[in-house]
Structure 1
Amino acid sequence: MPDTPAHDRLFIGGDWVAPAGTGTIEVINPSTEEVAGTVPEGTEADVDAAVAAARKAFDEGPWPHMSPKERAEVLAAASGAIQADMQGIAELISTENGCPVSWSLMGQVFAATMVADQYVGLADSYPFTDMRAGMMGPSEVRQVPIGVAAGIIPWNVPLFLSMLKLAPAMIAGCTMVLKPAPEAPLDAYVLAQVLTDAGLPPGVLNIVAAGREVSEHLVTHPDVDKVSFTGSTAAGRRIGALCGERLRPCTLELGGKSAAIILDDADLAASIPGIVPNGLMNNGQACVAQTRILASRDRYDEVVEAVTEAAGSVKVGDALDPETECGPLVAERQRDRVEGYIAAGREQGARVTVGGGRPSGMDRGWFVEPTVFADVTNDMTIAQEEIFGPVLSVIAYDDVDDAVRIANDSDYGLSGSVWGADQSAASDVARRIRTGTCNVNTFTLDMCSPFGGVKASGVGREMGPEGLAAYLEYRTIAHAAEG
Structure 2
Amino acid sequence: MSALTCISPVDNQVFATREPVSIEVARAMIRQGKTAGKAWAQRPLSERRDIVMAAIHRLGTEKDDAANEMAHMMGRPIHQFFEFNGCLERATYMASVAEEALAPIIIENSLQFERRIEKEPRGLVLIVAPWNYPYLTTINSLVPALISGNAVLMKHATQTLLVGERLERVFKQAGLPDGVLQNIYLDHETSSALISEGHFGFVNFTGSVGGGKAMEHAAAGTFTPVGTELGGKDPAYVMDDADMDAAVAALMDGAFFNAGQCCCGIERIYVHETRYEEFIEKAVAEVLRLKLGNPFDKDTTIGPMANVRFANEIRQQIAEAVEAGAKLHIPASAFPLDDGAAYLAPQLLTDVTHDMRIMQEESFGPVVAVMKVGSDEEAVRLMNDSSFGLTVSLWGQDAERVAHLGKMLETGTVFMNRCDYLDPAICWTGCKDTGHGVTLSILGYNALTRPKSFHLRKN
The bucket for the TM-score relative to the shorter chain is: over 0.9
Equivalent residue, structure 2, for 1:14: none
3-state DSSP of counterpart to 1:310: helix
Separation (CA, whole Å) in 1 of partners of 2:214 and 2:99? 37
- Closer, same or farther: CA 195–358 of 1 in aligned 2, 3 Å: farther
RMSD between aligned residues: 2.0
Equivalent residue, structure 2, for 1:124: 99
Q: Does 1:79 align with 2:56?
A: yes
Equivalent residue, structure 2, for 1:39: 18
Deviates more, 1:39-48 or 1:443-452: 39-48
Q: Does 1:381 align with 2:360?
A: no
Q: In the alignment, which of 430, 434, 442 is matched to residue 465 of structure 1?
A: 442
**Do the aligned residues in 2 keep the contact of 1:296 with 1:396 (CA within 8 Å)?**
yes
- Closer, same or farther: CA 131–422 of 1 in aligned 2, 3 Å: closer
How big is the shift at 1:381? Answer: 1.1
Separation (CA, whole Å) in 2 of partners of 1:213 and 1:281? 33
- Closer, same or farther: CA 120–223 of 1 in aligned 2, 3 Å: same
**Do the aligned residues in 2 keep the contact of 1:350 with 1:375 (CA within 8 Å)?**
yes
Q: Does 1:233 align with 2:209?
A: yes
Structure 2 matches for 1:89-168, cutoff 5 A?
89-104=66-81, 106=82, 108-133=83-108, 137-168=113-144
Structure 2 matches for 1:151-300, cutoff 5 A?
151-300=127-276
Separation (CA, whole Å) in 1 of partners of 2:227 and 2:332? 36
Separation (CA, whole Å) in 2 of partners of 1:134 and 1:220? 42
2:194 alignment partner AA:
L
Kindly, what percent of the aligned residue pairs are identical?
Answer: 27
Q: In the alignment, which of 383, 388, 391 is matched to residue 415 of structure 1?
A: 391
Q: In the alignment, which of 41, 55, 69 is matched to residue 34 of structure 2?
A: 55
**Offset from partner CA, 1:59-115 (integer Å, 9 cap, x none):** 4xx2011122111111111111111222221221222111222322x1x22212222
3-state DSSP of counterpart to 1:382: helix
**Do the aligned residues in 2 keep the contact of 1:377 with 1:396 (CA within 8 Å)?**
no
**Do the aligned residues in 1 keep the contact of 2:252 with 2:287 (CA within 8 Å)?**
yes
Separation (CA, whole Å) in 2 of partners of 1:40 and 1:437? 39
3-state DSSP of counterpart to 1:307: helix
3-state DSSP of counterpart to 1:126: helix
Separation (CA, whole Å) in 2 of partners of 1:368 and 1:127? 46
Equivalent residue, structure 2, for 1:88: 65
- List runs of 5+ in structure 2 lacking aligned partners: none
**Offset from partner CA, 1:447-471 (integer Å, 9 cap, x none):** 1210011000001211111111110
Separation (CA, whole Å) in 1 of partners of 2:120 and 2:265? 35
Deviates more, 1:197-206 or 1:127-136: 127-136
- List runs of 5+ in structure 1 lacking aligned partners: 1-20
Separation (CA, whole Å) in 1 of partners of 2:306 and 2:188? 17
Q: In the alignment, which of 408, 413, 434 is matched to residue 437 of structure 1?
A: 413
**Do the aligned residues in 1 keep the contact of 2:34 with 2:124 (CA within 8 Å)?**
yes
1:27 alignment partner AA:
C
**Do the aligned residues in 1 keep the contact of 2:394 with 2:415 (CA within 8 Å)?**
yes
Separation (CA, whole Å) in 2 of partners of 1:221 and 1:284? 37
Q: Does 1:29 align with 2:4?
A: no
2:17 alignment partner AA:
T
3-state DSSP of counterpart to 1:445: coil
Separation (CA, whole Å) in 1 of partners of 2:143 and 2:19? 25
1:470 alignment partner AA:
A
How big is the shift at 1:365? Answer: 6.2
TM-score normalised over the length of structure 1: 0.90
**Do the aligned residues in 2 keep the contact of 1:128 with 1:144 (CA within 8 Å)?**
no
Deviates more, 1:212-221 or 1:335-344: 212-221
**Do the aligned residues in 1 keep the contact of 2:427 with 2:439 (CA within 8 Å)?**
yes
Q: Does 1:68 align with 2:32?
A: no
1:92 alignment partner AA:
E
3-state DSSP of counterpart to 2:159: coil
How big is the shift at 1:355? Answer: 5.0
How big is the shift at 1:358? Answer: 10
How big is the shift at 1:252? Answer: 0.3
3-state DSSP of counterpart to 2:264: coil
Give the paired residue count. 457
Deviates more, 1:318-327 or 1:386-395: 318-327
2:86 alignment partner AA:
A
Separation (CA, whole Å) in 2 of partners of 1:358 and 1:226? 48
Q: Does 1:450 align with 2:421?
A: no
Equivalent residue, structure 2, for 1:327: 303
Separation (CA, whole Å) in 2 of partners of 1:183 and 1:39? 11
**Do the aligned residues in 1 keep the contact of 2:36 with 2:179 (CA within 8 Å)?**
yes
3-state DSSP of counterpart to 2:247: helix
1:300 alignment partner AA:
Y
Separation (CA, whole Å) in 2 of partners of 1:24 and 1:34? 15
- Closer, same or farther: CA 357–43 of 1 in aligned 2, 3 Å: farther
- Closer, same or farther: CA 357–383 of 1 in aligned 2, 3 Å: farther
Separation (CA, whole Å) in 2 of partners of 1:117 and 1:126? 14
Equivalent residue, structure 1, for 2:321: 345
Q: Does 1:399 align with 2:378?
A: no
